[in-house]
Amino acid sequence: MDYKHSDSLTHLMKSVLKLHRHNVDRLIQEYDVYPGQPPLLLRLAEQDGQIQKELAQKINIQPATLTVMITRMEKAGLLERRTDPEDQRVSRVYLTEKGRMATGKVKEALRTIEEACFGNFSLEEKLLFRRLLLQMQSDLQALPPQKNG
């Protein structure tokens, strides 16, 4: 049988994820939070005052990209950088009061979208879906690294 990408499960999954992100972004834009920023807010809500290198690893982006993101979010009043009191070479990132409020709104938006996505699923279907996603994640992580050159 001929492979037709538009009929593939991965194409459908990509479409669903794109709709998910679009709807989350739509719900949070009024709080000065832009696409790509929610993971940083959520990580800082879990543990405020992390160093940039740790944050970049945790949200899986390049340190330079994170620096640009933090600068933009500082200008919006969501975050602030402070020098580590024990090591002046290290900068730590903290949520501001506005950032904490925005994080609460991000969590509300994610909860709203989660309910929209899975409101018609039974508990058993949700558990099966979770198991299948975890299996996909595991299978993709097990792929051998691509050889360079």
- Structurally, what CATH architecture does the domain formed by 14-141 represent? Orthogonal Bundle (1.10)
Contact 56, 62 (CB under 8 A): yes
Q: What sign for the dihedral angle of Cα 33, 36, 40, 41?
A: positive
pLDDT < 70 regions, the chain? 1, 149
Both structure tokens of 4: 């037709």
Cα 22 to Cα 19, 63, 87, 115: the distances in Å are 5, 25, 40, 15
* Residue 146 DSSP class: P
Q: For residue 149, what pLDDT is reported? A: 57
Output the pLDDT for position 147.
Answer: 78
**In degrees rounded to 5, what are phi and psi of residue 122?**
-75, 165
How far is residue 41's CA from residue 83's CA, in Å, rounded to a whole number? 19
pLDDT digits (tens, 9 = 90+) for 35-49: 889 999 999 999 999
Alpha carbon separation from 33 to 80, 86, 124 (Å, rounded): 15, 31, 34
Using an 8 Å Cβ cutoff, are 35 and 25 in contact? yes
The CA distance from 148 to 62, in Å, is 20
Taking a C-beta distance cutoff of 8 angstroms, is the pair 78, 33 a contact? yes
pLDDT value for 134: 96
Q: Is the pTM for the entire model greater than 0.85?
A: no
